[in-house]
Each structure stands twice: as structure tokens, then as C-alpha cells.
Amino acid sequence: MALEDAKTQIDQAFTRAELRGLSFENAFGGATSFLRRRLSKDLRRAQIAVTGIPFDQAVTNRPGTRFGPRAIREASTLQAFDAPYGWGYDPLSELSIVDYGDMAFDYANVPEVPARIEAHLAGIINAGVVPITLGGDHFITLPILRAIAAQHGPVALIQFDAHSDTWADDDMSRIDHGTFLYKALKLGLVAPETTVSVGIRTDNPDTLGVSTLDAPSVHQDGIEASLARIRKVVGDRPTYVTFDIDCLDPAFAPGTGTPVWGGLASWQAAALLRGLKGINMIGGDVVEVSPPYDPTGATAIAGAHVATELMALAGWGLRKEGR
């Protein structure tokens, strides 16, 4: 295929016959799916499923991350023509990837949302498919980790974030985007000795023993030293990667609920994600993209690239396993 296929290709989200291959339909037209992958609830041939959870409930400042999945998908249409740069392989052509669509839920019945998220992800995980999730506020990672742990047991965790999200909250029924890691640790879904937080730049009196690479240390120590520290924490354990878009400096991602200056540049995030090739990644998410606060679309573009990097990172492991 080549760019001239744009003359005939359209609505690849529905008309794509195969789950593999690049897409050349016009970026400005057609039905929107993540990277123009086929929209499908059939996971029998899939290796990776991208899914959206358009949920935000009690963010610190600016709501709107419920629009994140839609904006990320739209931004991703510019990335569907080529293999992700710098990976040395083409996950879009080598792997069977579907867009599993969004999770359905009753917006007026918030207490049922955690169980719905867990069940939604369990449907993907139990099918033997790697989930890449588009959020939504950072709360969604807690029920995702419940589903992951039900299949794999406690897993290692890499958290890219401006905030530690380990503020004390022992009411497990509360739905709070700022305490997902505290609860995941208390529930035994992850362990502090196998958890690392990257890009932190806000104070928290107790990080519960989690290893922290704050943003200044990444700036000062560089990419390779930071990667060595991350790899030492997670080793070869099954690892989940969660990326809060406010890990990036507001100059690169202003459309988020809690922007904090001094964060990672987009090139640093890209280098770190690509440098994690070979970890035993079993799933990942990108959260907190709030497009109403960024009319330029830069934050959604960043979110789409992060999701693509997570997909490529997961695919690297699948290739290694020969799956």
C-alpha cells in the first residue's frame, strides 16, 4: 500500500479486512478509531486491544478527561501512515491490534463504575490479549490493576506522573483520581519494592516505600541512568505501565486537570518508553488528557503518541515470545 491508496481507502475502522497493516486513508476523513485499527469486540485473533474509559469524577481542578479517549483517537489519525519511529519494527503490520471501543456505563450511577471497569478489562485480559487503555482520570488504573492482579497476581508497576497518588485514603469505596496507588499498595495489587514513580514533582509526606525518580533527577541524571534505575525495580516481573499525561511539562501537555511545571519534555518521555524495550509488559494506560483546556490539541497528540509507544512496547514483548 502507499499514499495513493487514500483515493480508495475510507472508514478503515469498519472496512479493514485484516487486523494488521498500515492505513492510508485521509487523516481528516473517515470513521475514527485508534490508529485506524478495526473497531471490534471480537478478540479471537487479537494480540493487543486498545480501549477507552471516558470517566472522570472528582478531579483536583479541571474536569474533562472523559473526552480524552475521543481526542486521543482523533489525534492518532496522523500516526497511522507509518511505523512508530525508533522501534526498529512495525507493530501495526506485525501484530493483530483492534480498537475495542469504549466501556459503557451509567454516568448517573457512579458507584458501579469501578466494578464495570474491572469486568471490562477482565474480558480483554482473560482472552489472552494485552490491554492498552485510554482514560479517563487516574482512578481508572485501580480497577484495571484489580483485573490484572486477578489474572497475574501482584505485578510490578511503572507510574509516570507529576504526583505520587499515595495520599492516605483507607476508604476503599471512595472514587478518587489522586489515591489509586495508595489503594493498590494497600490491597496488595502491587508491592512497593517493585513499583517506581517517574517524573514526580509534588510533595507527599509518605510514598509508602515506592521508588521515586522525580523530574529533577531525570533532568540531571539523564535517560540511561534513569532507565537503569527503573529496570532495577521491575526486573523481569510482569509489569503494568500507567502514564498520567501531567508527567509532561505543561509546555507539552497543557490540557490536563493538574498541570505542574518542571516536568518531562516529550522527547524524554519517548526516550524512556522506548528504552524500556524488553520489560515484561502486560498492559498499560494513558490518563488525564483533558482536551477542553487545550484548544491546540497538543495534549491529545501527546496522549496519542504515549498510547502508541505503550502499544509498541507491549508488542516488543509479544514478538520476543513469538506470540
What are the pLDDT digits (tens) for 263-286?
999 999 999 999 999 999 999 999
Q: How are strands ordered across the β-sheet holding 48-53? A: 38-39, 97-102, 48-53, 130-135, 281-287, 239-244, 155-160, 190-200, 211-214
pLDDT band per the 50, 70, 90 thresholds, residue 2: low
Look at residues 299, 307, 319, 241 and name the one whose alpha carbon lies nearest to residue 79: 307
What's the pLDDT score for residue 12?
A: 87
Alpha-carbon dihedral of residues 265, 249, 175, 125, nearest 10 degrees?
A: -10
Task: Read off the pLDDT of residues 216-246 as tens digits, 9 standing for 90 and up.
Answer: 999 999 999 999 999 999 999 999 999 999 9
What's the pLDDT score for residue 122?
A: 98
Give the CA distances from residue 225 to residues 38, 169, 228, 239, in Å, rounded to whole numbers and listed in that order. Answer: 39, 33, 5, 20
What's the pLDDT score for residue 58?
A: 79
| 230 or 19, which is more confident | 230
pLDDT band per the 50, 70, 90 thresholds, residue 61: confident
Helix-strand-coil split of the chain, %, nearest 5: 40, 15, 45
Average confidence (pLDDT) over 249-268 = 96
pLDDT at 323 over 90: no
Mean pLDDT of the chain: 94
Amino acid at 312: A
What's the pLDDT score for residue 3?
A: 66
What's the pLDDT score for residue 308?
A: 98
pLDDT band per the 50, 70, 90 thresholds, residue 60: confident
Task: Read off the pLDDT of residues 78-107 as tens digits, 9 standing for 90 and up.
Answer: 998 899 999 999 999 999 999 999 999 999
- Report whether 51 contacts 131 (CB < 8 A): yes
Task: Read off the pLDDT of residues 146-196 as tens digits, 9 standing for 90 and up.
Answer: 999 999 999 999 999 999 999 999 999 999 999 999 999 999 999 999 999
For helices 298-321 and 68-76, give the axis angle rounded to 10 degrees.
70
Question: How large a percentage of the chain has pLDDT more than 90?
Answer: 84
